[in-house]
Amino acid sequence: MEERKFDPYQFIGFILIAVILTWMLYRNGPAEANPTVQNPTTEQTSTQINSVSQNSVVSDSLLQQQKVEAYGDLGALFRPTSEGTVSIQTNEMVLELDPKGGQISKLLLNAYENYEDLPVPLINEGNTDFNIQINTLDGRILNTSEMYFRPIVNQGAEAIQIEMRATLSEEQYVSFLYTFPKEGHLFSFSVRSVGMRALLNTAIPPQLNWKTDVFRNSRSIDYENRYTEFTFGYEADRVDYLSLSGNDEETRQDLRWISYRQHFFSAILIPESPISEAKLISEDRSGEEALGERFTKTFTTNYKLSSGGELNTNLKFYYGPTDYQALKELEGDLEASIPMGWGIFGWINRVLFLPLFGFLSSFLSYGIAIIVMTIIVRLAMSPVTYKSYVSQIKMKVLRPDIEVINSKYKDDAVKRQQETMSLYSRAGANPMSGCVPALIQLPVFYALFSFFPVAFVLRDKSFLWADDLSSYDSVLDLGFTIPFYGDHVSLFPILASVAIFFYTKMTTGQQPMPQQPGMPNMKIIIYLMPLMMLFFFNNYASGLSLYYFVSNLLTIILMLVIKNYIIDDTKIHAQIEENKKKPKKAGGFSARLQKAMEEAEKQKKARK
- pLDDT at residue number 81: 77
- 243: amino acid identity, one letter: S
Amino acid at 9: Y
- From the list 469, 459, 452, 453, the residue with the least C-alpha distance to 222 is 453
Return the pLDDT at 427.
Answer: 66
CB 150 within 8 A of CB 99: yes
Element (H, E) at 376: helix 366-380
Report the C-alpha gap between 166 and 147 in whole angstroms.
7
Residue-level pLDDT at 42: 34
**Can you give the three-state secondary structure of 429-454, one letter per residue?**
CCCCCCCHHHHHHHHHHHHHHHHHHH
Low-confidence ranges of the chain (pLDDT < 50): 1-11, 26, 29-59, 69-70, 509-520, 589
The angle, 0 to 180 degrees and rounded to 10, between the axes of the packed helices 491-508 and 523-536 is 160
**pLDDT number for residue 7:** 47
Q: Does residue 319 sit in helix, strand or coil?
A: strand
Q: How many CA atoms lie within 13 A of 583 on its CB side?
A: 1
Neighbours of 99 (CB within 10 A): 21
At 297 the three-state DSSP class reads strand
Residue 326's closest CA among 230, 451, 185, 452? Answer: 185
CA pair distance 430, 409, nearest whole angstrom: 21
The domain limits of the chain are 8-28+350-592, 42-339
pLDDT by residue (tens digit) across 414-445? 777 777 777 777 666 666 666 666 677 778 87
Residue 464 buriedness (CB in 10 A; 0-12 / 13-18 / 19+): exposed
Nearest to 240, CA basis, from 256, 226, 225: 256
Distance between CA atoms of residues 85 and 107, nearest Å? 13
Inter-axis angle of helices 523-536 and 8-27, nearest 10: 10
Long-range Cβ contact pairs of 133-141 (< 8 A, separation 24 or more): 133/206, 133/207, 133/208, 133/209, 134/174, 134/193, 134/200, 134/206, 134/311, 135/200, 135/201, 135/204, 135/206, 136/74, 136/199, 136/200, 136/201, 137/198, 137/199, 137/200, 137/201, 139/201, 140/71, 140/74
Q: Does domain 42-339 have CATH number 2.70.98.90?
A: yes
> What is the pLDDT at residue 271?
93
User: What pLDDT, on a 0 to 100 scale, did the predictor assign at position 536?
Assistant: 78
CA atoms within 13 A on the CB side of 128: 21
Q: Are residues 341 and 349 in contact, defined by beta-carbon separation less than 8 angstroms?
A: yes
Residue 327 · residue 239 · CB < 8 Å: no
